[in-house]
Amino acid sequence: MEIKTYTPQGFKALQDELDYLVNVRVEENKKDISTARAFGDLSENSEYDEAKAEQGKIHARIAELREMIAHAKVIDESQIDESVVSVGSIVVVYNVERAKEFTYHIVGSYETDPVNGKISDSSPIGVALLGARAGDEVVVSGVREQHIQVKSVSRAKEA
């Protein structure tokens, strides 16, 4: 698995999800299986089948999260030049073709939330912006080439 970059907040979210699954969902699922088992004949017991299927999903996600955490690189905010776009930056840009201003929070690929302005460092816009400074103009490659002027670069504050 390749190394993925995370903001401290994104890495904590992975750890929190893993903790919840291991310490809460696994125990809840064990109870669901036990309850379903008490209904009798397992060959025709849909509650048991559903609980066992859920158990598989929970354990698969736990394994996935452990792998992601093991191969994570968490950015060290204290080592970052805040004037340059990198993972964790808040970037205000002006899209020339659309004549509109946008604000993006550059995050690791597993932290994306476009509805809330969080875009991946590996997205076309993220890739184009990485390393840029306020005043730079970057070109975003894609179906339609876009010209973006970087208005400001700042760091996201801890949530």
User: pLDDT tens across 96-141, in order?
Assistant: 999 999 999 999 888 899 999 999 999 999 999 999 999 999 999 8
Number of domains in the chain: 2
**Shared domain check, 62 and 15:** yes
User: What does the alpha-carbon distance between residue 18 and residue 9 come to, in Å, rounded to a whole number?
Assistant: 14
User: What does the alpha-carbon distance between residue 28 and residue 124 come to, in Å, rounded to a whole number?
Assistant: 41
**Shared domain check, 119 and 55:** no
**% of the chain beyond a pLDDT of 90:** 66
- Could you tell me if residue 8 is left (phi over 0), alpha (psi between -120 and 50 degrees) or otherwise beta? alpha
- Could you tell me if residue 88 is left (phi over 0), alpha (psi between -120 and 50 degrees) or otherwise beta? left
Q: Which of 31, 57, 74 is the last residue of a domain?
A: 74
Range of the domain at 135: 77-155
**Shared domain check, 106 and 58:** no
Q: Is the pTM value of this prediction over 0.85?
A: no
**Shared domain check, 148 and 83:** yes
pLDDT at 158 over 70: no
